[in-house]
Structure 1
């Protein structure tokens, strides 16, 4: 028996909810230290205890309190975003040189933003190290599809390169990628569409439709590459792109192996078989809901699914 839609949700939105079972939640969260920044009361992420224990925390910049299970970035009062970011960069560069952290071997030279309670940019952190701190990250995902009078809706589905560090060989959304510091969601989408699917900028700017977002908290497993158990809370801005049947997608970089144009039933079968990258499954479920393929009449877990792909995160959001 294959995976149900709720199974796919549980696999991606894997961090427990306090109200489901407070005792189990407290037991689970005891595996993490809260990531704090001096000058703020908020928690900005959760750091796995095993990472805290082996991480090279410079004492002049960090306070590690095992009793309260907190890791606090120490900066002078009135510190700027650039100053906080510089300390984070220095800390991660030292950790990367140690060779003790698998996720840092995929260093990207790309910065992810950390936002504060007023939606202000508090700091930026190297993308490869973001999951070590368990911060909330942002991305864009787009489903490109065609409409045929006889075949109905068909979706362009890429297969990730089998040499890719994360989720090698798994199926993906038509276009997807992270949003770097200072980048607007739509501009990120335009860039990723050309890089991954050879989609011309004018087509994306003219026809891509913003369809909201999905939110969840993923707990990284072996498929993600590197250390397991790291938290990855995410917000993905979702877009649809209706394409003329004459448009054929093809890889533009080495991250995608091939594109295939699949029927809704083929996509559903691959989802059931667990062939899609976990968060991509959620984007497709959201697509099915919005286009009427997944309804209260054909999905008994409809309400829970709808709620779970719109998680209210525990950390400040932009």
Structure 2
């Protein structure tokens, strides 16, 4: 059966916002009615019209916003003041049920960065797509290498059917957002235990940092909340080689209820499920990057190789950590 989605289609799903550097006309057209979210002279996010409208309602959003044509600034002289003002606004929106995405409130703070990796302010995780600011996560691919008689195989979890976001879809072996100032490494250790019951000591001894993927996601309805919200992201990537289960290799097991099962899939099965659109969009990006690094996806077998590679490592238009 022919795949429903090409590899480039999968990239388009997760990197759906025009790049100002490579497509300046499309970027200008797309952002004509957007506002730049500014800190000093730096753009830290992009705000779509429906969010701008809410900010302009002082009774709803408070008077700690400076709004001029095409530009929004969060007032406050310190990180703490800006954090307090952002928190007050988003809590007001949540109480008023202004945006559906805020129904996923987690009391988990994300760091929004000024230049040179300095914190600009902190904000609730589920509110970040309302302001088009950069979010961060860590993803790990746990795999059994190929042998002369067996193909490379990957442990693939199926997300719980009851999850609010992407229920029942396939995921990376371990993945999670980086909240509360956690480092990428701390995040992957924590998520490995919570999502896959993998011992921290084992992960520390065997997992290896292998780079990152970055993209500018325009959220789908399956992401939870309003479709069309903006979510530029950086996902730090890790690989971990394990042995066969019968040789004593660890077997990922659900722990915190976010995963229903873990399936050991060979490369062809993963490729088939990618083409069928069964993976969560950003997990497809991480797997394509894995395939490139491991020689599964090459310039010889993928006509869109250069575009796929470059767009999986997009230079974002905002300050990063």
TM-score normalised by structure 2 residue count: 0.93
Cα distance per residue 1:238-273 (max 9 Å; x no partner): 000111212211101111111100000000000000
Name 1:254's counterpart in structure 2.
257
Segment drifting more, 22-31 vs 5-14: 22-31
Q: Is the 8 A contact 1:62 1:72 kept in 2?
A: yes
Q: Is the 8 A contact 1:81 1:122 kept in 2?
A: yes
Q: Is residue 2:292 matched to residue 1:289?
A: yes
Q: Is residue 2:43 matched to residue 1:43?
A: yes
Q: How many residues align?
A: 311
Name 2:277's counterpart in structure 1.
274
Cα offset, 1:51, TM superposition: 1.8
Name 2:268's counterpart in structure 1.
265
Name 1:135's counterpart in structure 2.
133
Alpha-carbon distance in 2 for matches of 1:53, 1:21: 27
Pick from 56, 59, 84: which aligns with 1:86?
Answer: 84
Cα offset, 1:60, TM superposition: 2.6
Name 1:214's counterpart in structure 2.
213
Q: Is the 8 A contact 1:14 1:218 kept in 2?
A: yes
Alpha-carbon distance in 2 for matches of 1:59, 1:253: 37
Secondary structure of 1:205's counterpart equals helix
Cα offset, 1:80, TM superposition: 2.3
Name 1:113's counterpart in structure 2.
111
Alpha-carbon distance in 2 for matches of 1:248, 1:12: 29
Q: Is residue 2:107 matched to residue 1:104?
A: no
Cα distance per residue 1:194-223 (max 9 Å; x no partner): 000000101100000100011000000111
Q: Is the 8 A contact 2:143 2:152 kept in 1?
A: yes
Segment drifting more, 221-230 vs 56-65: 56-65
Cα offset, 1:64, TM superposition: 2.4
Name 2:317's counterpart in structure 1.
314
Q: Is residue 2:67 matched to residue 1:69?
A: no
Q: Is residue 2:224 matched to residue 1:225?
A: yes
Secondary structure of 1:267's counterpart equals helix
Segment drifting more, 144-153 vs 54-63: 54-63
Taking structure 1 as reference, are residues 60 and 19 closer, same or farther at Cα in structure 2, changes over 3 Å only? closer
Alpha-carbon distance in 2 for matches of 1:101, 1:216: 24
Name 2:152's counterpart in structure 1.
153
Q: Which runs of 5+ in 1 are unaligned?
A: none
Q: Is the 8 A contact 2:189 2:204 kept in 1?
A: yes
TM-score normalised by structure 1 residue count: 0.94
Alpha-carbon distance in 1 for matches of 2:271, 2:33: 35
Q: Is the 8 A contact 1:111 1:127 kept in 2?
A: yes
Alpha-carbon distance in 2 for matches of 1:263, 1:303: 25
Secondary structure of 1:192's counterpart equals helix
Q: Is the 8 A contact 1:147 1:245 kept in 2?
A: no
Q: Indicate the RMSD between aligned Cα atoms, in angstroms.
A: 1.4
Segment drifting more, 293-302 vs 11-20: 11-20
